[in-house]
Amino acid sequence: MNTIAAAIAIGLGVSMPALAIGLIGSRAVDAIARQPEATSKIQLNMILAAAFAEGLGIFSFVISILLLNK
């Protein structure tokens, strides 16, 4: 039962941050295409925003590991 719970937690918990990171990346590429001279600033902010989105995925990863070790 714990294995299934861990699988659901990691599966659902990673899909949403994946969507978020995809959106962040696509918008950043849009912005860079429109304004190539601002590339470094856009990249910096993109990495920071992606880090926030990815942190949520990491939470579900930690929870699934906790479930497996129970």
Partner 1 sequence: MMPGVPVTNTMITLWLVSAILIILALVLRRKINMIPSGFYNFAEWALGGLYGFMEEVGGKAAKKHFSLFITFFLTILFSNWLGIMMGMVAEESGFLRAPTSDLNTTAAFAITAFIYFEYQGIRAHGAIGYAQHFVNLKALFTKGPMGVIDFFTGLLHIVSEIVRPLALSLRLFGNIFGGEIVLTVAFLLFSAVLPLPFMMLEFLIGLIQAFVFAMLFLVFTSLNSAHEDEHTEPEPTKDELPPQVAISVG
For residues 8 and 48, which CB has a smaller minimum distance to partner 1 in the complex?
Answer: 48
Least Cβ distance, residue 65 to partner 1 (angstroms): 8
For residues 2 and 43, which CB has a smaller minimum distance to partner 1 in the complex?
Answer: 43
Work out the angle at residue 18's Cα, subtended by the Cα atoms of residues 34 and 66, and round it to the nearest 5 degrees.
Answer: 150
**Chain residues in the site for partner 1 (CB under 8 A):** 35, 38, 40-42, 44-45, 47-49, 51-56, 58-59, 61-62, 65
Least Cβ distance, residue 55 to partner 1 (angstroms): 5
**Residue 70 · residue 8 · CB < 8 Å:** no
Encoded tokens for 33: 């295409």
Q: How far is CA 49 from the centre of its chain?
A: 9
